[in-house]
Amino acid sequence: MKTKSLFFGLLLSSSMAVAQNTSNMSSNPLLQPFDTPHQTAPYDKIKPEHFLPALKEAMAQGKKEIDAIVDNKAKPTFENTIIALEQGGENVGKASSILFHLNGAETNPEIQKTVREASPLLTEYGNDITLNDKLFARVKAVWDQRDKLKLDTESAMLLEKTYKSFARNGANLNAADKEKLRGINKELSQLSIKFSENNLAETNEYSLVVTDEKDLAGLPDFVKEAAKAAAKRLNKEGWVFTLHAPSYGPFMQYADNRDLRKQLFLAYNGRGFNGSKNDNKDNIAQIVKLRYEKAKLLGYATWADYILEERMANSKQIVNNFLNDVKKYAEPAAARELAELTAYAKKNGFAEDKLQRWDVSYYSEKLKKEKYAINDELLKPYFKLENVLDGIFALTNKLYGISFKENKNIPGWHPEVKAYEVFDKDGKFLAVWYGDYFPRAGKRAGAWNNSVQDQWIENGVEYRPHVVNVCNFSRPTDTKPSLLSFNEVTTLFHEFGHALHGMLAKGKYQTTSGTSVAWDFVELPSQIMENFAEEPEVLRMFAKHYQTGEVIPQEYIEKIRASSNFMAGLANLRQIGLGMIDMAWHSNVPNGESVAQIEEKADVGAQIYPKVEGISVSTAFSHIFAGGYSAGYYSYKWSEVLDADAFELFKEKGIFNQEVATSFRENVLSRGGSEKPMVLYKRFRGREPKPEAMLKRAGLIL
């Protein structure tokens, strides 16, 4: 995410906005220099009413900067056009990035109203830049002489990205089509916001209240204790279970009460599909229709054709072939696993012919415990959140020499947020890193990384990044700290991998720095970190019993590794299915098919489980309808090929090998999008990636 580019309003138009207010400019913290450590955002002073005047002022200044570029009498050059464009719009990016971040991590009705109101303003601001004929003429003039400019590699990439940002956003359209595009962009930004708000509301508004303790049978103490704490927070009697991951997941794994599992399953998987005020079916239909119209207007057959043009997998055929190739390995494995699971369930009293979807996690957990004598209840005491973070800090120090120091003087957006200064091995300041780990009503579900300030160099001054990790883990209770499941441990490692990509950035321009890379390359740094979480040497660095301090026993480590591919066929098939649903929505011409019809054809999971009425993947699929993964969800699996292949080198040389770690830092983590991703990957690995490592790691081949 950029914080400074003049394109920022356009890039964030699907997620941002502003609220009307008459705040005094002189007292608006967004319009003043940030008087905080490392010029971090003063979250303790910023209020929703500050955003509109700040953004209006910033956009007015940004337009003046555009006018100065356009009105420059000198012939267009890389410096007076491309660099001037890259370095403009500082305050638009600053205010927008903060608002966007708050709307995801700590929103409220005022911020949501602000987002809805500012979205058309920011969208129009972005349109005014990319659809400016005179500005594009200058950019094109520089682009046309690119072979004569003798630019360094990163500058050449900036020029290419800048030119394509215009061309791919309508600069070559006639006047009438430009107006159509403006309207489409506005509508899409508002629809994506509405989709996200509906999803958050559906998640927050549901709760399962249990008052009879017999209905808690099977649930471990840590689950019951968290549910009791949730009831206390909501002033309810008994135990409360919600649709937030730390509550929903364990209930589906452990609860003996099948009727309640079904009830919770239907609520979770019916979000946005139940005809309520938060229904998302119409939003999806409109989003898909408008995306297709935009792609067609810009000269592409479908939205997927438009999106994939700038990806490593640069065509629908490549993506669909990739998904189907992995499916060939995953499908038979999933069928075997489901048959084994069904036989196990019947052996233990299950009376029906087929398992329902609300039975799979429950019996999987029991079978896993029986086969490997391991489960979350046994492991969680060794994964205290603070210890896992310390382990990540120790690991990254060992690999890259960096260190972390908490700074309580850096304001956060919530009291639970912790801020750290990050230093390189020579003591040089690298970044500010924020961690925010517990569910709240104002925080959307899931886990993510973003940047509220990127890295770049301007006039000889280097600006270092401010990076954020946000997750939703189980809260501490009155008797226990936050204890993570092993899956949550890998999630923490994953998001920290994204953070490293930002923190270790070493580029000249924001547009080519940090995580500003091809979408199907951006998951490599995050997913390679997941590999370390399972390594014995790494586990012993942080997996210590929260009460006794005992290091995790070797037998537990062996069981974690032995069980790592448990039900991998089903897990891989689910990921492939999500990718196929995404492509079904975006790689075809919309013909009015309903959500249910699209999913019936594309959801491979629907082919192995009994059909369940009233549920949907799409209506809560924020990745593709409110995030940046439309026609791109395949990239998670695509990046698994890269990360598995890359980690093979670490294993060959030693997982802490300094030569390999330094090469990965210098050729991948620090380089951002300064060169084509395959060039960077081959420079690290010495060759193109091979899929065998991913298939072998997943247990899909021997």
404 — phi, psi (to 5°)? -125, 140
Is residue 556 within 8 A of residue 400, CB to CB? The reply is no
Interatomic CA distance for residues 415 and 411, integer angstroms: 9
- The three-class DSSP label of residue 101 is helix
The amino acid that residue 633 corresponds to is Y
Partners of 448 in the β-ladder: 470
From the list 260, 221, 268, 280, the residue with the least C-alpha distance to 243 is 268
Q: Beta strand pairing status for 429-436 and 418-423? A: antiparallel
Interatomic CA distance for residues 636 and 537, integer angstroms: 26
Helix, strand, coil percentages for the chain (3-state, nearest 5): 60, 5, 35
Is residue 7 within 8 A of residue 122, CB to CB? The reply is no
Is residue 575 within 8 A of residue 636, CB to CB? The reply is yes
Interatomic CA distance for residues 634 and 432, integer angstroms: 31
Q: Which residues contact residue 410 at a Cβ distance below 8 angstroms, ignoring those fewer than 6 apart?
A: 36, 37, 38, 40, 419, 421, 432
Question: Token pair 């890039």 is at which residue?
Answer: 11
How does DSSP assign 323-339, residue by residue?
HHHHHHHHHHHHHHHHH
The amino acid that residue 60 corresponds to is A
Ramachandran bin of 89, using left for φ above 0, alpha for ψ from -120 to 50, beta for the remaining angles = left
239 — phi, psi (to 5°)? -130, 140
How does DSSP assign 413-453, residue by residue?
SSTT-EEEEEE-TTS-EEEEEEEE-S--TTS-SS-EEEEEE
The amino acid that residue 14 corresponds to is S
Distances in Å between the Cα of 599 and the Cα atoms of 109, 272, 330, 577, 585 are 33, 15, 19, 9, 9
Distance in angstroms between the alpha carbons of the first and the last residue of the chain: 40
List, by residue number, the catalytic residues.
495
Q: Beta strand pairing status for 429-436 and 448-453? A: unpaired
The DSSP H or E segment spanning 680 is helix 677-685
Interatomic CA distance for residues 266 and 282, integer angstroms: 20
Question: In sequence order, which ranges of 348-422 are alpha helices (DSSP H)?
Answer: 357-372, 376-379, 385-400
From the list 542, 554, 495, 524, the residue with the least C-alpha distance to 671 is 524
